[in-house]
Amino acid sequence: MTRMTRDRALSPEELAEVVAADIPAGAYVNLGIGQPTLVSNYLTPEDDVTLHTENGMLGMGAQAHGEEVDPDLINAGKIPVKETEGCSYFHHADSFAMMRGGHLDCCVLGAFQVDRNGNLANWHTGKPDAIPAVGGAMDLATGAKQTFVMMTLTAKNGQPKLVEECTMPLTGVGCVSRIYTDQAVFLIEGDGSVVVRETFGCDVEAVQELVPFALERA
């Protein structure tokens, strides 16, 4: 485990540790492809968290290497993984029924944009020649009991990613309840207000300058 300081913007690993600390003990969780996958590195056996992978497994273990690799055992990112004790397999419709039926306690997804009403855009940049590829993102965003987003507060070009209203094509409507960024954690209240729960290495005023609507303080 990293010994975290909160006096500067967080690295993706440090942010993953913050997210992991907020996942309730005993929860069933789906971690999206990319940055959210890092969260699994900070879950301990005492947390008793069961990981779901939408290609048909509960109790997904760590990445497999070398002789452990089994082509019949991969995760949603198509990376070879291992079993954990008590794991189970099921077909795709059962796997998504688990998600769509509200049985997963939490999912953690990346995002291009999230807006003050919890609308999420994370599958399509909206460029006209882009090939639409959605995978399981819409099911996850809409089906889990809680949807957490993990992202940088601003895009590489400096544009805000927490916005008044998403301009990119939506993945889900009003589905995000919390946003974890390198500079602050935000709670989406559902009435259009967004609360700054904590900041990393800056104050609320500095965060406010990077968000184009008025934030509430915790």
Residue ranges in contact with other proteins by CB under 8 A: 53-57, 70-75, 78, 89-93, 95-97, 99-100, 119, 124, 129-139, 142-143, 169-173
Query: For residues 12 and 77, which CB has a smaller minimum distance to other proteins in the complex?
Result: 77
Q: Which is nearer to other proteins, 9 or 168 (CB)?
A: 168
Residue 83 contacts residue 62 (beta carbons within 8 Å): no
Q: Pairing between strand 81-89 and 57-63?
A: antiparallel
Token pair in block for residue 137: 């993102």
Question: Under DSSP, is residue 2 helix (H, G, I), strand (E, B) or coil?
Answer: coil
Looking at the DSSP bridge assignments, the partners of residue 53 are 57
Helix, strand, or coil (residue 14): helix
Distance CA 211, CA 218 (A): 16
Under DSSP, is residue 50 helix (H, G, I), strand (E, B) or coil?
strand
Q: How far is the CB of 132 from other proteins (least distance, A)?
A: 4
Question: Of 75 and 181, which has the nearer Cβ to other proteins?
Answer: 75
Kindly name the residue from 14, 54, 85, 165 that is annotated as catalytic: 54
Q: How far is the CB of 199 from other proteins (least distance, A)?
A: 31
Report in angstroms how near the CB of residue 210 gets to other proteins at its nearest.
26
Catalytic (active site) residue 85? no
Catalytic residues: 54
